[in-house]
Structure 1
Amino acid sequence: MIRLVGGAAAALLLAQPIAAQTQPVGALDGIAVIDALDAADAPSGQTTRYWFRAGETATGQRWLVPVIVVKGARPGPRLLLTAGIHGDELNGIDVIHKLVAGLDRAALSGTLVAVPGLNPPGLLQNAREFAANDSRSAANLNRAMPGKVDGGHVDHHAALLWQKLLRPNADLAVDLHTQSRGTAYVMYAFASTARTKRMAELLAPDVIKLDRGDKGTVENTLTDDGVPAVTLELGMPERFDAVLVKRGVDGLLNLMREQKMLPGPVAEPPPTMVVGNALAAVRAPRGGWATLVTPLGSKVEKGQMVATMADAFGRTTDMLMAPEAGTIAAAFTDPRRERGGMIVRIIHMKDDPACAFGCP
């Protein structure tokens, strides 16, 4: 037996999800306010909405996170959907809204737990990050999981989400994102295991990146804790893209059919889908104005021109070439590029067995 003492024992305890009944502590505009969710408490065959009290503002109020529970009439898996952990990445929120609105509850087996807005301060500020601290710097909430209840404001918020909302209510999960400001993705999924690769295929993205991931993300923290999870990226920030939102909804419905949560045939991934385990970035060699020559989603050969750079007078300063053959999975949308700024990312496959699910 291993005995933990002091801080080690406390840290282990704080990382564990807390089983708790859903006990409303109040209501706001007719929506129950809760401090913990057990989706089993939601009524069968219905859609139930909650405000979940997470972290605290600098003025002592609580951040309220919207939660939607759609519980089928029959038992089945719990699919967790999250969006808005980066406050300028909005397509996933519309995916959740559209999916919930069109879901046939009478045909549903299991439970959909959807959280369309994990990062209230980021959403309010149209910012990727969480609220700034007293040093005026802001942290990435999607690097803070599972958090620490006795930590700072970001870790505290993350811990409450993890312990009392996310982890206790998930058998599998999809975290919805877009690219960051000034850039765009194709429809793009990250997967880190054979099971999550299959989940990603069912979502039918343009690209799957086999990736070991980053510490503290929703995807990797859940997967490491035994809940298979993927990240699904849907285009550009700061907008609702109707085409990508529909593709996101269709992909999730397909995943739910594979899980027997919904009836109907399961569609296999399109033959055009690209799978890679490595990225080659093309970056601006100097500040200036960039023009994309090869569009997002294009296949390129090594040495092919992908973009040009110009100075303040419009004179061409650089012709930027692809360092690897592959597919352009991400590209800039803001032509103003600082030195070292991302121009494109090219996904490709390395044969090295050590890179099977992303290079170390």
Structure 2
Amino acid sequence: MLNKDILHVLGQKIHPGESAEISFDVANLHTSSSVDVPVFIERSKRPGPTVLFTAGIHGDEVNGVEIVRQLIAKGINKPKRGSIICIPVINIFGFINLTREFPDGRDLNRVFPGNHNGSLASQVAYKLIHEVIPSVDYVVDFHTGGAGRFNAPQIRIEKNNIELDELAKAFGAPFVVYSKNLNKSFRYTCSKLGIPMLLYEGGKSIHLDPNVTHTGVNGAKRVLAHLNMLNPRLKASPPKKKCVFILESRWQRANYSGMFRPVTNLMSSKVKKGDVIGNITDPYGKFNDFVKAETSGYIINVNESPIVYQGDALFHITRKMKP
């Protein structure tokens, strides 16, 4: 679907060649102070697709917010053709407190497509789906790992979708993980509406990582170049490594409770079955369990929590790759 002459976003009309900053507001704080979430729209005079960049669905995932911030600050969001919409922080309530959920305790990414008369999170989801998404052709949504888990930069898409495969290749993250669309998630809802979405995962919550940010910003530029939308004054550098498409992966869990320390420089590296990849100790110097890789593959996620309990996820290791 190509841009129509006029974009209708959050009740505003934006014509070709125009720029706009629109407020995405749903509710005030409990102090009656207003909370305005800015939505940045840049349109070229030349027709083309509309791409939406979003972050902060979970309020503590600040690295995604930083990526979208840089897209705006560096002028990457000014397209050669078509339109680019940037929403750096969707869950502004969680972002203020650096918490994952909304004040109502709900995970925004589990209430889509939302309800106009529902919970606060549900109302935000409803407004996004009904007042922004109808104007959009592609979505890139930026996330990070949660609960102290650090994700290697990766794109997550559903299987058996040629267009998503091509977009993921264009993005150029080190890994592309095939994963199911979770029911009531933003990605699931966009898929049902026929809108391709790339979900980027990188880093961990309440943490900024320059490599994760760099990969996300460059990936966004490559996607825009792939769609012939990248501003001519900008260049999209090719990825340093070829993408690894992952068909199957599994968490390796702790056999014991204790103090956990992973081997350094494991992220994104390939390990062999039996390699020592960490150790779990007690606080008293009496116990030391060497954690060995249960399978050969790439490590795409590491639990960086210093304390773990038996059964906790430690390492996410790939098991089967696409040829």
| TM-score, structure 1 as length reference | 0.79
The answer to whether residue 106 in structure 2 is matched with residue 139 in structure 1 is yes
**Residue equivalent to 1:292:** 262
Distance 1:102 1:169 in 2: 24
1:182 matched residue in structure 2 = 148
Q: 1:194 to 1:61 in 2, by over 3 A?
A: farther
Q: Distance in 2 between matches of 1:274 and 1:105?
A: 28
Name the CA distance, whole Å, in 1 between partners of 2:95 and 2:310. Answer: 29
Structure 1 gaps of 5+ residues are: 1-18, 23-35, 133-137
CA distance in 2, matches of 1:139, 1:96: 24
8 Å contact 1:144–1:216 — kept in the other structure? yes
Provide the residue aligned with 1:211 in structure 2.
179
Correspondence for 2:320: 349
Q: What code does the residue aligned with 1:180 have? A: G
1:31 match: none
Task: Map 1:37-186 to 2 at 5 A.
Answer: 37=11, 41-55=13-27, 63-103=35-75, 108-132=80-104, 138-165=105-132, 167-186=133-152
Give the structure 1 partner of residue 201 of structure 2: 233
How far, CA to CA, are the matches of 1:284 and 1:317 in structure 2?
Answer: 13
- 1:275 corresponds to which of 238, 245, 248: 245
Two-structure CA RMSD over aligned residues (Å):
2.7
- Alpha-carbon distance in 2 for matches of 1:311, 1:195: 49
Report how many residues are paired: 313
Which range moves more in the overlay, 79-88 or 42-51? 42-51
More off after superposition, 285-294 vs 245-254: 285-294
TM-score (ref. length: structure 2): 0.87
1:21 Cα deviation from its structure 2 partner: 4.7
Q: Which residue does the alignment assign to 2:285?
A: 314
Please tell me the residue identity of whatever aligns with 2:135.
N
What amino acid sits opposite 1:289 in the alignment?
Answer: M
8 Å Cα contact 2:19/2:41 also seen in 1: yes
CA separation of 1:105/1:303 partners in 2, compared to 1, >3 Å: closer, same or farther?
closer
Q: CA deviation at 1:154?
A: 2.2
Measured in 2, the distance between the counterparts of 1:180 and 1:246 equals: 20
Moved more, 156-165 or 310-319: 310-319
Mark the CA change 1:151 to 1:303 in structure 2 (over 3 Å): closer, same or farther: same
CA gap of 1:222–1:177, structure 2 versus 1, over 3 A, is: same
Decide whether aligned partners of structure 1 residues 303 and 332 sit closer, same or farther in structure 2, where only a CA change above 3 A counts. Answer: same
Q: How much has 1:305 moved relative to structure 2?
A: 2.3
Structure 2 unaligned segments of length 5 or more: list them: 1-5
What is the SS of the residue equivalent to 1:145?
coil
TM-superposed deviation, 1:303: 2.7
- Per the alignment, residue 3 of structure 2 pairs with none
Cross-structure match for 1:220: 188
Q: 1:232 and 1:164 mapped to 2: Cα distance? A: 23
Aligned position for 1:329:
300
2:78–2:84 Cα contact (<8 Å) kept: no
More displaced 10-residue stretch of structure 1: 46-55 or 118-127: 46-55
After superposition, what is the alpha-carbon deviation per residue over 1:206-239, rounded to whole angstroms, capped at 9, x for unaligned? 1110112211222222122100001001212223
Q: Is the 1:45–1:106 Cα contact (8 Å) retained in structure 2?
A: no
The Cα of 1:95 is off from its aligned counterpart by: 1.4
SS in 2 for 1:50: strand
Contact in 1 for aligned 2:78/2:231 (Cα 8 Å): no
User: Deviation at 1:104?
Assistant: 6.3
- Alpha-carbon distance, 1:289 to partner: 0.6
